[in-house]
């Protein structure tokens, strides 16, 4: 199997060219052909040397992922199931909001973190995605939208909020981010990319030093250690104190204000005690809180609080000076939450022998949005 071209950052490509005795200046033209002109056949790179064209034709793979299923919600949210070379599949969701079209990409097949409210967790970790498979989700869906919807459909933002814990797959996600941001290529600005993490402390400490300065969203879900541990077993190892010591090291100017994601589960983390704990833990000037009403799935052990309870919680946070929003439910008719699509298909045995989903399910869910400023 040839390595994928989409695994190469701009700097790596330059290095590779030098190693092969080719001109490193060709990297600029190649990124331009691949990421701006969408020409993925090296033979057509007319301003690139013949030797380089031959080298990439022979040694590199330019294939994209395969869209094996897609669904369109009434609100415009599109969900895709994409298949990789080894047959594994992940989901990716395109969410329109105002003038933006945000792609929610996956970072792993499954997840090892084991949050007790998350359907992806029940699958365990199958494997990390390669950088090319993360970049591949973007390229594949952008191409699909151009071919199947219109040339005006342009993905403008990316959130790392699909299946998986992006910081568990640190190096590949860093690489993918560098490729997304490369000025000679897709040139997505740092404000257009948001990484969401459950709070892997050593990786956050590393991120503070050497990850491109994208927006950070932290899945907090409780400001009380015992409650957070119940929701997220990772809190046993990296409790709130360790977590916030690491967060303090993130240079805020570069990464700007951190968004705290706060899942609201009925009777678990939505009481006055929780409000008071949050007020104590977070500084309203430096934090933005995004409330996510729990999204139920078959077999889930938590419940979504009532609308009144959700509004009460929001009101309490606003009263205390926080910028606080509620993540709107979108894509409810096409099952758009973390890991659910694939899990549901497996559970209901709706896959045909070619590993293609047979029917479109219809279970309510919510989608991550409101996160990119
Ligand atoms: N692993 C990363 C990113 C992917 S999950 C993380 O945990 O941050 C993206 C967001 O969806 C997280 O904030 C997660 O807590 C939330 N989420 C997971 N399952 C959910 C559910 N059943 N209902 C609502 N939000 C959920
Ligand atoms: Fe993994 Fe995030 Fe789901 Fe937790 S919420 S199990 S970290 S994908």
Residues at CB less than 6 angstroms from ligand 1:
117-118, 161, 165, 196-198, 219, 261, 263, 292, 294-295, 337-338, 366, 368
Q: What percent of the chain has pLDDT over 70?
A: 87
Active site residue 338: yes
Is the per-residue pLDDT at 336 higher than 90? no
Closest ligand to residue 303's CA: 1
In a domain, 92, yes or no: yes
Cβ(142)–Cβ(154) below 8 Å: yes
Is the per-residue pLDDT at 92 higher than 80? yes
- The DSSP symbol for 271 reads S
Is residue 332 very low, low, confident or very high in pLDDT (cuts 50, 70, 90)?
A: low
> Are 31 and 81 part of one and the same domain?
no
> Are 38 and 85 part of one and the same domain?
no
In a domain, 359, yes or no: no
Q: Please tell me the predicted confidence (pLDDT) of residue 351.
A: 40
> Are 73 and 40 part of one and the same domain?
no
The pTM score is: 0.91
Q: Please tell me the predicted confidence (pLDDT) of residue 254.
A: 60
For residues 175-203, average pLDDT: 97
Closest C-alpha to ligand 1, atom 7:
198
Question: What is the domain range of residue 158?
Answer: 66-348
Domain with residue 165: its CATH number is 3.20.20.70
Q: Which range, of 94-98, 251-255, 296-300, averages the lowest pLDDT?
A: 251-255
CA distance to 2, 191, 216, 217, 234, per residue, from 255 (Å): 36, 8, 7, 10, 24
In a domain, 166, yes or no: yes
In a domain, 100, yes or no: yes
pLDDT tens per residue, range 134-154: 999 999 999 999 999 999 999
Is residue 128 very low, low, confident or very high in pLDDT (cuts 50, 70, 90)?
A: very high
> Are 243 and 106 part of one and the same domain?
yes
Q: What percent of the chain has pLDDT over 90?
A: 79
Is residue 286 very low, low, confident or very high in pLDDT (cuts 50, 70, 90)?
A: confident
In a domain, 269, yes or no: yes
- The DSSP symbol for 345 reads H
Supply 198's token pair.
């459950």
> Are 28 and 153 part of one and the same domain?
no
Active site residue 104: no
> Are 155 and 262 part of one and the same domain?
yes
Q: Please tell me the predicted confidence (pLDDT) of residue 283.
A: 92
Closest C-alpha to ligand 1, atom 18:
118
Domain with residue 33: its CATH number is 1.10.150.530
In a domain, 366, yes or no: no
Is residue 252 very low, low, confident or very high in pLDDT (cuts 50, 70, 90)?
A: confident
* Structural domains of the chain, count: 2
Closest C-alpha to ligand 1, atom 19:
118
96 vs 253, more confident:
96
Q: Please tell me the predicted confidence (pLDDT) of residue 361.
A: 31
> Are 51 and 141 part of one and the same domain?
no
Is the per-residue pLDDT at 212 higher than 90? yes
In a domain, 367, yes or no: no
In a domain, 358, yes or no: no
**Rg, the chain, Cα only:** 21
Is residue 295 very low, low, confident or very high in pLDDT (cuts 50, 70, 90)?
A: confident
Is the per-residue pLDDT at 359 higher than 90? no
> Are 19 and 129 part of one and the same domain?
no
Q: Which of 338, 340, 367 gets mutated to test ligand 1 (max ligand atoms within 8 A of its CB)?
A: 338
Average pLDDT for the chain? 88
> Are 120 and 187 part of one and the same domain?
yes
179 CA to middle of ligand 2, Å? 24
| Residue 264 φ/ψ, nearest 5 degrees | -105, 110
Is the per-residue pLDDT at 256 higher than 80? no
Is the per-residue pLDDT at 53 higher than 80? yes
> Are 181 and 50 part of one and the same domain?
no
CA distance to 12, 79, 249, 336, 345, per residue, from 361 (Å): 42, 12, 43, 10, 8
Q: What is the DSSP string of 308-343?
A: HHHHHHHHHHHHTT-EEEEPPP--TTS--STTHHHH
> Are 287 and 150 part of one and the same domain?
yes
278 CA to middle of ligand 1, Å? 19
> Are 31 and 80 part of one and the same domain?
no
């Amino acid at each position: 199997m040839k390595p994928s071209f989409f695994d190469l950052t701009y700097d790596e490509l330059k290095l590779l060219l030098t190693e092969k005795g080719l001109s490193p200046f060709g990297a600029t033209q190649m990124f331009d052909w691949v990421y701006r002109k969408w020409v993925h056949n090296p033979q057509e790179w007319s301003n690139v040397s013949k030797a380089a064209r031959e080298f990439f034709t022979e040694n590199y793979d330019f294939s994209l992922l395969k869209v094996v299923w897609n669904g369109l919600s009434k609100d415009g949210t599109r969900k895709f199931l994409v298949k990789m070379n080894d047959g594994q599949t992940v989901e990716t969701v395109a969410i329109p909001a105002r003038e933006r079209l945000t792609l929610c990409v996956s970072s792993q097949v499954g997840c090892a973190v084991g949050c007790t409210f998350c359907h992806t967790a029940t699958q365990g970790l199958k494997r990390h995605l390669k950088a090319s498979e993360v970049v591949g989700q973007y390229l594949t869906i952008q191409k699909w939208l151009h071919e199947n919807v219109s040339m005006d459909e342009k993905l403008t933002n990316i959130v790392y909020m699909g299946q998986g814990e992006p910081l568990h797959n640190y190096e590949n996600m860093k690489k993918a981010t560098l490729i997304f941001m490369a000025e000679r290529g897709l040139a997505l600005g740092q404000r257009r990319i948001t990484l969401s993490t459950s709070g892997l402390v050593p990786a956050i400490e590393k991120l503070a030093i050497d990850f491109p300065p994208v927006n950070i969203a932290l899945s907090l879900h409780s400001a009380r250690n015992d409650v957070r541990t119940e929701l997220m077993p990772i809190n046993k190892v990296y409790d709130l104190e360790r977590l916030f010591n690491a967060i303090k090291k993130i240079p805020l100017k570069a990464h700007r204000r951190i968004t705290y994601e706060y899942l609201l589960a009925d009777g678990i983390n939505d009481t006055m005690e929780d409000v008071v704990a949050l007020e104590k833990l977070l500084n309203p000037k430096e934090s933005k809180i995004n409330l996510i009403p729990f999204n139920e799935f078959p077999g889930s052990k938590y419940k979504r609080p009532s609308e009144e309870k959700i509004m009460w919680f929001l009101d309490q946070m606003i009263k205390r000076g926080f910028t606080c929003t509620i993540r709107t439910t979108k894509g409810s008719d096409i099952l758009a939450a973390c890991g659910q699509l694939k899990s549901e298909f497996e559970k209901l045995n709706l896959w045909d022998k070619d590993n293609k989903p047979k029917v479109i399910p219809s279970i309510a869910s919510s989608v991550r949005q409101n996160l990119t400023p």
